[in-house]
Amino acid sequence: MALAREGADIVLLDRCADIKTVGYPLSSDADLAESVALVEAEDRRCLARQADVRDPEQIQAVVDEAVSEFGRIDILLANAGISAGLPIQIATAQQWDDVVGTNLSGVFHSMRAVAPVMIKQRYGRIVATSSMMGRFATPSMAPYVASKWGVIGLVKCVAQDLAAFGITVNAVAPGNIDTPMINNDWLPKQIRPDLDRPTLADVLPFLGALHVQPDPVLPASDVSAAIVFLVGPGATHMTGAVLDVSAGASARFTA
């Protein structure tokens, strides 16, 4: 929506189905349709397709259709992500494959699909979504943490691969954001297993402790603003960078 308001036509893709190893509901057909309607309400064109970022052929098909429809691809936001985790001694291989396949391999497949288009154009802006968990770790979240650390490494490498072609590649590292990844029944149970029916309110002190500013959950618009900056003229000479939107969690990092 933030990009549509800035004048961009939009291509959306989502799996639109749950994943068994993820404990909360993922986006649905209705969510995708709502997003299309919101973009079109801004008087922008919107192409929406169901696709799984774990499958490079599906991603390539969407990219090919986008180029056919719009003639070019100026911006890639590699934002597909899921959260799941258990202590390593009971975590499953399937959980690892689902999380890393979506959060890290999905970013690679997306970047790989748009790179030739942007190279031909001699222009492109790529932003991948990492996390504050891509900067530090927390127990019972090995697949998620590893995937988000990997996104940062991938961004820094691809930024160097594509710098000569007028393409920038950066990451945003959000903190706790007010989305269904936070607002669900599964997360409070993971954090407060001592309670019979924990709610988000019961885990806000834990979430707040991850931040420095006294805001345990942040609006998604904060992340959108960072993305709009990274793809705009003010960030022409920023590439391979990570922009933290984590209520001061980055103040605890050593680098």
Q: Which residues are catalytic?
A: 144
3-state class (DSSP) for residue 18:
coil
CA distance 84 to 95: 7
b/e string for 148-165 if b means 16 or more Cβ within 10 A? bbbbbebbbebbeebeee
3-state class (DSSP) for residue 1:
coil
3-state class (DSSP) for residue 11:
strand
Map tokens 């202590």 to a residue.
Answer: 87
Map tokens 């801004």 to a residue.
Answer: 42
Map tokens 């639109």 to a residue.
Answer: 16
Q: Give the phi and the psi of residue 195 in degrees, each rounded to 5.
A: -105, 145
Which residues are paired to 173 by β-bridges?
244
CA 113 to chain centre: 17
3-state class (DSSP) for residue 123:
coil
